[in-house]
Amino acid sequence: MKYSEKLMELYSNPKNVGSLDEKDKNVGTSVVGAPSCGDVIKLQIKVDDEGKIADAKFKTFGCGAAIASSALITDWVQGKTLDEAKKIKNQDVAEYLSLPPVKAHCSVLAEEAIEKAIENYLSKKGEEICKK
Amino acid sequence: MNIYMDYQATTPCDKRVVDEMLPYFTEKFGNPHSGHGMGLEANDAVDDSRRKIADLVKANDPREVIFTSGATESNNLAIRGAVHYYKSERKKIITSTIEHKCVLETCRSLQSEGYQVVFAPVLSNGIVDMDFLKKEIDDNTILVSIMSVNNEIGTIQPIKEISKLCREHGVLFHTDAAQAVGTIEVDAGDVDLMSVSGHKIYGPKGVGALYVRIKPRIRLTPLFFGGGQERGIRSGTLPVPLCVGLGKACEIAKNEMVQESRRLTDMKNYFIDKILSRLEKVYLNGDRERRIPGCLNFSFEGVEGESVMLGMPEVCISSGSACTSASLEPSYVLKAISIREDLAHCSLRIGLGRFTTFEEVEYVSDKIIETVTRLRNMSPLW
């Protein structure tokens, strides 16, 4: 598969690889995709007191496009509020990386990962408020 | 710099083959079907090549070798041609689930014409299930088509055993030997029809052959019609340079097979042992012993195949992962040997061949170990 230079750079030197403490109440975690489909993204965000994403990490099993999409989206959400982060769309990722059409699902998966991580964070927060 | 380790996809033309072909493009350009001197010269060259191919596949008579455009045509011609010719007698075809697409698709098209097609499963080691074949073969079966060597996992099928079974039931036996001829000993005496490819054995692309038994005579309905060349089985002016190239490729393969096989076996064993000892959770797909020496197929748990290939762009190998196929489906061959679904995506095929050096084996195996380790560190499944 012929990939763009931007994609190859993100695949070769991906930033934000790693994990955050899943038990931390300020951390939202998502795992999307399935091993049997050849793509799994685990994505985590850490939200600071001002409601901004202070850190985002990922681990990805998948092709070059999946790895690059995860690296890109974890980079883009840094410093953003949750509402701003939700506005990042898979088309933006696909366009930036010049993804071939057959790889569009990788950017869809990355978007889904961010959404689910935010949901996870918010549901943790919700539980916390209920307990109070 | 490219390191080529994809010898099951194609091989470079051997320079000796090219040298042999060249005069037939220019000064010896005659039509082998012409009656004059230049025609006869071209015809002699074609017959000489036919003899070399016959020698390699152990055919009794060079006339049993029919030139085609490649293994895809040979397989189409063998299966469709035999089934259509003998259709009034029998209606069933047996093949396996791991055949090349050109065999599977030919069988499927015959299925839509109303023939019964049975796809025999393979065991987890990539060898066809003989018990299943024994149960399925019957008096209604026209043809069994089982490949000699699988192109993805390199497993060698029990051709002699299948041959015996077919003979007991008076069933025609075709084998797609594209990956076997020139690599391991093949014997036309075991089969009625055998497909040969040029570009898998250091010959040119665009030429192949079909062995069609003369005694007892196997008849085929041609795929297309014309001047009645090649015993009326395959019309069309023969591409003399390509025929000469295929003949030369067969001659070289025959002379060098024993030595080459030993060299490749040593490299293969070194490669397998090194990978399995340096990395955990790596699986060799297909039987370790019953495989051709040049074909390795591994699954590296936790990393997707294409991402490994991307990490070493100078290395030319292939993957059974969905991401490398246009259909986004993982390899049907790996599915057929029932490996875990995720492991099909984690597979790499490494093909060693005539121009592979030990230094290259060392380099590529190091590179794989390094890349797999790097990618496992960023995998949520590891």
Q: Residue B26: CB partners within 8 Å, gap ≥ 6?
A: none
Nearest CB to B307 within list A31, A63, A103: A63
Q: Tell me if A130 is assigned to some domain.
A: no
Task: Tell me whether residue B82 is exposed, middle or buried, using C-beta atoms within 10 angstroms of its C-beta: 0 to 12, 13 to 18, 19 or more.
Answer: buried
Domains and CATH numbers, chain B: 3-8+257-375 (3.90.1150.10), 15-252 (3.40.640.10)
Q: Say if A131 falls within a structural domain.
A: no
Q: Enter the ipTM.
A: 0.94
pTM of the model: 0.94
Helices B240-278/B37-57 angle, 10° precision: 30
Kind and range of the H or E run holding A55: strand A53-61
Residue A56 in any domain: the answer is yes
Candidates B328, B345, B382; nearest CB to A102: B328
Contact B380 A64 (CB under 8 A): no
Q: Report the catalytic residues of A.
A: 37, 106
pLDDT the model gives residue A126: 86
pLDDT tens for chain A, 132 residues: list them: 789 999 999 999 999 999 999 999 999 999 999 999 999 999 999 999 999 999 999 999 999 999 999 999 999 999 999 999 999 999 999 999 999 999 999 999 999 999 999 999 999 988 777 776
Give the pLDDT of residue A1.
Answer: 77
Count of structural domains, chain A: 1
Beta-carbon separation of B307 and A1 below 8 A: no
In a domain, A29, yes or no: yes
Residue B295 φ then ψ, to 5°? -120, 120
Contact B186, B54 (CB under 8 A): no
Distances (CA, A) of B31 to A38, B37, B90, B335: 53, 10, 40, 47
Has residue A132 been placed in a domain?
A: no
Ordered alpha helix ranges (H), chain B: 15-21, 37-57, 71-85, 101-112, 130-136, 159-168, 240-278, 305-310, 332-336, 341-345, 358-376
Name the minimum distance, in Å, from the CA of B9 to any CA of chain A: 16
User: Inter-chain contact B304–A35, Cβ cutoff 8 Å?
Assistant: no
Is the minimum CB–CB distance between B381 and chain A shorter than 8 Å?
Answer: yes
Cβ neighbours for B185, distance < 8 A, ≥ 6 positions apart = B257
Q: Which of B11, B6, B1, B61 is nearest to B245 (CA)?
A: B11
CATH number for A20: 3.90.1010.10
Q: What is the pLDDT of residue B88?
A: 85
Residue entry with tokens 């490729």: B249
Which range of residues forms the domain containing residue A70? 5-124
User: In which residue ranges of chain B is pLDDT below 50?
Assistant: none
Is the CB of residue B96 less than 8 Å from the CB of residue B147? yes
Rounded to the nearest angstrom, the minimum Cα separation between B341 and chain A is: 5
Whether A87 is in a domain gets the answer: yes
Q: Is A59 on the interface with B (CB under 8 A)?
A: yes
Point out the residue among A8, A60, A65 whose CB comes nearest to the CB of B380: A60
Say yes or no: A37 contacts chain B, CB-CB below 8 A. yes
Helix, strand or coil for residue B172? strand
What pLDDT does B73 receive?
A: 98
CB A90 within 8 A of CB A66: no
From A63's Cα to the closest Cα of chain B, the distance in A is: 5
Which one is catalytic: B13, B102, B295, B323? Answer: B323
Give a yes or no: residue A9 inside a domain: yes
Give the residue from chain A lying closest to B382, CA to CA: A61
Task: Establish, for the pair of chains A and B, how many residue pairs have beta carbons separated by less than 8 Å.
Answer: 67
Q: Which of B351, B326, B324, B370 is nearest to A62 (CA)?
A: B324
Would the CB atoms of A11 and B380 count as touching at under 8 Å?
no
Map residue B311 onto helix, strand or coil. Answer: coil
Burial code (b: 16+ CB inside 10 Å, e: under 16) for B343-362 equals bbbbbbbbbbbbebeeebbe
Is residue A38 included in any domain, yes or no? yes
Contact B322 A3 (CB under 8 A): no
Rounded Cα distance between B3 and B13, Å, is 16
Question: Which of B306, B326, B377 comes nearest A63 by C-beta?
Answer: B306
B303/B373 Cα distance (integer angstroms): 9
Separation in Å, CA of B306 to nearest CA in chain A: 5
* Active-site residue flag, B323: yes
